[in-house]
Amino acid sequence: MSDGSMDLQALSRQIHEMLVLGALRSEEKHGYQVALDVADRSAGMFELQHGTLYPILHRLEDRGWIKGRWDSGEGRRKKVYRLTADGRRHLTGEIDRFEAVARGLLEVVRGRGHAAP
């Protein structure tokens, strides 16, 4: 039971990390833009609520997958994040892994040979 919940926690964390990395794929963004982007692009299916975004951003920054810098262009200082080359590689790998997992899951659920192409 506890093992199962730990796996779910890890999965949830990985999904959140992928969402954040995906939001930063095209250009650098402020934290609030990442949160909005995730909510907008998933049409509300995924939302990084209650500030859960910040531990994810800081963890990814710690691992070197994203890089933050302070932007003080217009008055107040704001932090901007961009995806690093390492982060891009990691994201590509994670996408492939998730696709394989999803394909495998659908094959099991629908029955072999019926998975969506």
Give 77 or 114: the residue with its C-beta nearer to another protein. 77
For residue 31, give the H/E element and its range. Answer: helix 31-41
Check residue 20 for interaction with another protein (CB under 8 A).
no
Check residue 30 for interaction with another protein (CB under 8 A).
yes
Task: Considering only residues 53 through 112, tell me which ones interact with another protein, judged by CB under 8 A.
Answer: 53-55, 58-59, 62, 76-79
Contact, 34 vs 23, CB < 8 A? yes
Name which position in 28, 46, 47, 115 contacts another protein (CB under 8 A).
47
Check residue 52 for interaction with another protein (CB under 8 A).
yes
Task: Measure the CA–CA gap between 84 and 48, rounded to whole angstroms.
Answer: 21
Sequence letter at residue 105: L
**3-state class (DSSP) for residue 17:** helix
**3-state class (DSSP) for residue 79:** strand
- DSSP-derived letter for residue 49 is -
Check residue 35 for interaction with another protein (CB under 8 A).
yes
Give 47 or 94: the residue with its C-beta nearer to another protein. 47
Q: Interface with another protein by CB under 8 A: which residues?
A: 30-32, 35-36, 39, 47-55, 58-59, 62, 76-79
